[in-house]
Amino acid sequence: MNIDMEEISKSIPKTGTSIVGITCKDGVVIASDRRVSIGNGQMVAQKDFKKVIKINDYMLMAVAGTASDAVLLSKVIAAELKLKELKTRSRPTVKEAAHLISISIYRNIRTPSMIPNIVATICGGFNEDGSAEVYSVSPAGDIRLINDYDASGSGMVFMLGLLERQYKSGITVKEGVNLAQECIKSSTQRDTASGNGIDVFSITKEGIKHEVSEEILPQYK
């Protein structure tokens, strides 16, 4: 029996995705769309996939890539951070979480497999010392501290220009929420693998807040 890996790859649900992270003076903002697609965005497989995932009470990660790999990665990271907290009796930092994500992605994509494990993430959170951080981890496993903003996924090209023009140093969380929402709106207008909804979260010293939960409905004339 011949196995057509190209056909199998096309049929695997992918988050396609528009995800964005913004560093603000009083916290961080993480946002995403909700669409899962098959065949390079040719078919919508799911319209309500939650791509911003809660890791713990003060940390989130937004995921892009193969849907199953992204979900598994988020569960592994949450469990590993909880174990670390129990062992050390101290709260893991956002930097520690980001490096754990980076190591996992680096190892996974370099492990021989019939189906490559491809995931990109933007993670953000609020540290115990009062600092807020955002990190971006590429599908290759490299990691970057984001001092302003970053976007990832198939809709990235439609968001970076908007961020470049509208982001201001010292932006507040309230302003960041509005900017992130506009970024996702912009990408869903042009990227076929992004759409169906918008989720925007903030993380401040008060905790995680789901700022925007908006469904994008089709309009028929």
- From 15, 17, 23, 121, the catalytic residue: 17
CA-CA-CA-CA torsion sign (106, 110, 111, 113)? positive
C-alpha 204/C-alpha 137 separation (Å) is 22
Question: What is the dihedral angle through the alpha carbons of 31, 171, 173, 206, rounded to the nearest 10 degrees?
Answer: 130
Residue type, 31: A
Q: Between the CA of residue 149 and those of 22, 35, 124, 136, 145, what are the distances in Å?
A: 4, 22, 11, 9, 10
Catalytic, 88? Answer no
AA identity, residue 191: D
Q: Which residues are catalytic?
A: 17
